[in-house]
Amino acid sequence: MLTRESKHIIHTRVKEFVLPPFRDGLVLGRNSPIGSKAMRQALELLVATPFEPIELDNDPIIQEILVRKTLLSRVPKEKLIDFVLKFIKPGMAADEILYLELDIQIQFEAEL
C-alpha cells in the first residue's frame, strides 16, 4: 500500500515518430502478418517517398522486397535481390517482416 512517504519516479524517453517507421526498405516473408499488397497500399497513404516492390514469386521464404526507388538508381535491382537472398534470407523466417537499412556507397575512379 502507498503511504504519504511513498516516492514515485517516472523515467521516459521521447522520440519523434517517423513515418514510415523504416527508412530504406522492408523484406516481407511469404507468410508475414500483412501481405505485400496491403503493405504497398499503406505506404502509399503514409508517405510521399515512392517505394519499388520487387516480387520474388518462386522463393519459399521471401514474398517481396520493398525498397526506396531512389536507392535503385544507385544499385541495380538484380544486385539488391542477390544481396537479400544471400545475406538476409538465411536468418529470416517466412512469417517475418524485416527492416532494411541500406548504406549504399558508389566509388568512381576516372583518369582525366
Give me the residue spans of the domains in the chain: 25-100
pLDDT 10s digits, 29-67: 999 998 888 888 888 887 778 889 999 999 999 999 999
pLDDT 10s digits, 82-100: 999 999 999 999 999 999 9
Q: What is the pTM of this model?
A: 0.77
The Cα 8–Cα 27 span in angstroms is 43
- Helix, strand, or coil (residue 90): helix
User: What are the φ/ψ torsions at residue 101 (nearest 5 degrees)?
Assistant: -115, 110
